[in-house]
């Protein structure tokens, strides 16, 4: 019933605006000194316009909720309707109905439009005030950090929604030009450097970060300042993760480790990527793993001619097929069950699909396991990579991207040494084959299977203790989507034989990660320090001392080179490599 009455009220407002505007003009311009005939004509003019306006408004659904009341879109449409009707009716009355004062036709439409606008804006202000008072009892007071487009969208939604969980008490913004900015939902009260002081002063119990490209460093600083004061911190996701770039209240979420450790969103040249993926046959090894499956999802979005997913783990293939195609029948030839150690089987796969692009993500990656079984690391990471490289060369692959690791720089572990050999093999094929062969090196990714986060979550769930190697150990982190997006971009900008190194940001203390997760769990969990394991470094590096990084066209990707090692040389050194790694493992 209230909606029906509000629609009727708008129609009445518009009709009355024409009547009042006409009377006001006659009073101001003619001091009511019109003849009886002129009065009749003017009255007919006002009633005609009021009737036509309401009729047109009904036809155009002005009173059926087509526009938000008091919005700029409604104001513009109302202006077109009112001035258009006024011009047509005024012309008709001036030419065919008389006597008629021309001043009325020229000024009444403007006056009526102003009255309509004023009534709508007043109604909007009253409704906003009523909603604010209704919400004040249950909603939390919140500061919005970011007075740009995303912050303003968020503020408008919180103000208009009577059931919104937050009441906006102000904005923070670091742009000096916005220092005195006033918005419908509040005004800018300070900068991000004053977040705790302003929140305390205004009684805010939450800070909503409406900066879609907020860096991990910024979020960590805010969290460190606000958490001890018991102030809630929420954030919007990157723009590309929001529906059509539009903010929704459901986008607001509490921070997780990816937010705190992550960086600004990656900006990718989609035109370049589409140029080497769209319409091409793309094969991904290790497609059932964390990295391989995310590469598969991103490649699929670029409309390849065929996407061939290869893994020796049928469960992994089932999961990635389900995530991409929303079915897991595993009955198509593009889902390939194959071990890269099997050269003959691998060659048959390449012969059947003739891929144009290969992303080689298959590998054994768990450092302690490979220290105990170095031969297995050799068979998969070195010999398996060689098999994939030889098949790619034999079948004319145009782009080959080898996924490497930061542990290949100044390698001290079996994992690092075997991945370094894979880089060297890739460099050799780059020199020998017509296609583009390169490697991409990066560190730990958040959320990958067997990652430290999964381990910590599991240990916390079971009651602890949480095991950390050393209180000072640090690691580089990035999110899986970010790493894979950069890997795909690297395939475009890299040259033959390059080892492209992704910018991993600032190393993070694993002890800090563990303590943060324990705090968020609300449990009392102990931390146990286990000590460095054989082959494990206290601090990882992205470049060895012998490598000199040079920039590429992408700000988050650098370039180094790896010496080329021929396959035959590695075959001859195989036994020595294994013996050396075993000796390293058992050395006190």
Strands of the sheet with 399-405, listed across from one edge: 335-337, 306-311, 281-285, 357-360, 399-405, 436-442, 498-502, 557-561, 550-551
pLDDT of residue 548: 85
44-66: pLDDT as tens digits: 899 999 999 999 998 988 887 77
Q: Residue 95's pLDDT is what? A: 85
Predicted confidence at residue 116, as pLDDT, reads: 92
- Residue 279: per-residue pLDDT: 96
H/E segment holding residue 576: helix 567-586
The list of the chain residues with pLDDT below 50 reads 1-4, 579, 582-588
Helix axes 290-300, 314-325, angle to 10 degrees: 30
Angle of helix 102-136 versus helix 2-30 axis, rounded to 10: 140
What pLDDT is stored for residue 545 in this prediction?
80
Asked if the bond preceding 99 is cis, omega within 30° of 0, the reply is yes
How do residues 301-357 score in pLDDT, each as one tens digit? 999 999 999 999 999 999 999 999 999 999 999 999 999 999 999 999 999 999 999
Q: Which residues of 530-557 are buried (b: 16+ CB within 10 A; e: fewer)?
A: eeeebbbbeebebbeeebeeeebebebb
- pLDDT value for 452: 84
Q: Give pLDDT, residue 1.
A: 38
pLDDT at 466: 95
pLDDT score recorded for residue 585: 45
CA 205 to chain CA centroid, nearest Å? 26
Question: CA-CA distance, 57 to 47, in Å (whole number)?
Answer: 15
Q: What is the pLDDT of residue 184?
A: 75
Given this model, what pLDDT does residue 582 score? 44
């Amino acid at each position: 019933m209230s909606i029906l009455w509000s629609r009727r009220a708008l129609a009445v407002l518009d009709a009355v605006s024409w009547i009042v505007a006409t009377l006001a003009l006659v009073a101001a311009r003619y001091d009511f000194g019109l003849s009886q005939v002129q009065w009749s004509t003017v009255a007919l003019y006002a009633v005609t316009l009021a009737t036509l306006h309401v009729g047109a408004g009904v036809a155009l659904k002005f009173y059926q909720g087509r526009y938000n009341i008091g919005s700029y879109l409604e104001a513009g449409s109302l202006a077109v309707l009112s001035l258009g009707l006024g011009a047509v009716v005024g012309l008709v009355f001036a030419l065919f109905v008389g006597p008629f004062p021309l001043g009325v036709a020229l000024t009444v439409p403007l006056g009526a439009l102003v009255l309509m606008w004023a009534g709508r804006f007043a109604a909007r202000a009253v409704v906003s005030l009523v909603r604010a008072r209704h919400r004040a009892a249950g909603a939390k007071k919140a500061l919005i950090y970011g007075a740009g487009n995303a912050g303003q969208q968020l503020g408008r939604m919180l103000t208009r929604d009577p059931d919104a969980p937050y009441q906006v008490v102000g904005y923070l913004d670091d742009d000096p030009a916005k220092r005195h900015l006033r918005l419908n939902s509040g005004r800018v009260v300070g900068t991000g450097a004053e977040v705790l002081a302003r929140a305390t002063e205004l009684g805010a119990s939450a800070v909503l970060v409406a900066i879609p490209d907020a860096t991990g460093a910024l979020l960590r600083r805010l969290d460190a300042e606000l958490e001890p004061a018991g102030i809630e911190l929420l954030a919007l996701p990157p723009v590309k993760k929001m529906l059509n770039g539009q903010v929704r209240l459901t986008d607001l979420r509490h921070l997780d480790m990816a937010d705190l450790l992550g960086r600004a969103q990656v900006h990718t040249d989609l035109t370049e990527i589409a140029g080497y993926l769209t319409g091409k046959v793309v094969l991904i090894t290790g497609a059932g793993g964390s990295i391989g499956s995310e590469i598969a999802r991103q490649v699929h979005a670029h409309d390849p001619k065929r996407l061939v997913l290869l893994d020796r783990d049928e469960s992994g293939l089932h999961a990635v097929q389900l995530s991409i195609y929303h079915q897991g029948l595993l009955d198509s030839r593009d889902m390939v069950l194959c071990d890269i150690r099997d050269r003959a089987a691998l060659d048959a796969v390449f012969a059947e699909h003739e891929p144009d692009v290969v992303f080689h993500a298959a590998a054994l990656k768990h450092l302690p396991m490979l220290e105990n079984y170095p031969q297995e690391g050799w068979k998969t990471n070195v010999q398996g990579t060689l098999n994939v490289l030889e098949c790619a060369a034999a079948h004319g692959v145009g782009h080959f991207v080898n996924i490497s690791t930061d542990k290949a720089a100044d390698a001290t572990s079996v994992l690092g040494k075997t991945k370094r050999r894979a880089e060297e093999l890739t460099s050799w094929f780059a020199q020998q084959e017509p296609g583009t062969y390169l490697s991409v090196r990066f560190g730990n990714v958040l959320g990958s299977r067997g990652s430290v986060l999964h381990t910590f979550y599991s240990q916390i769930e079971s009651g602890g203790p949480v095991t950390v190697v050393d209180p000072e150990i640090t690691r580089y982190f990035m999110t899986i989507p970010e790493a894979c997006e950069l890997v795909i971009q690297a395939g475009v900008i890299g040259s033959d034989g390059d080892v492209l190194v992704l910018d991993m940001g600032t190393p993070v203390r694993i002890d800090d990660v563990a303590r943060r997760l324990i705090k968020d769990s609300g449990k009392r969990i102990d931390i146990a320090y286990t000590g460095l394991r054989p082959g494990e470094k206290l601090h990882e590096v992205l470049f060895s001392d012998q490598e000199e990084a040079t920039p590429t066209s992408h700000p988050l990707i650098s370039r180094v080179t790896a010496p080329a090692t021929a396959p035959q040389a590695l075959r001859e050194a195989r036994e020595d490599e294994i013996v050396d790694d075993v000796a390293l493992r058992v050395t006190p």
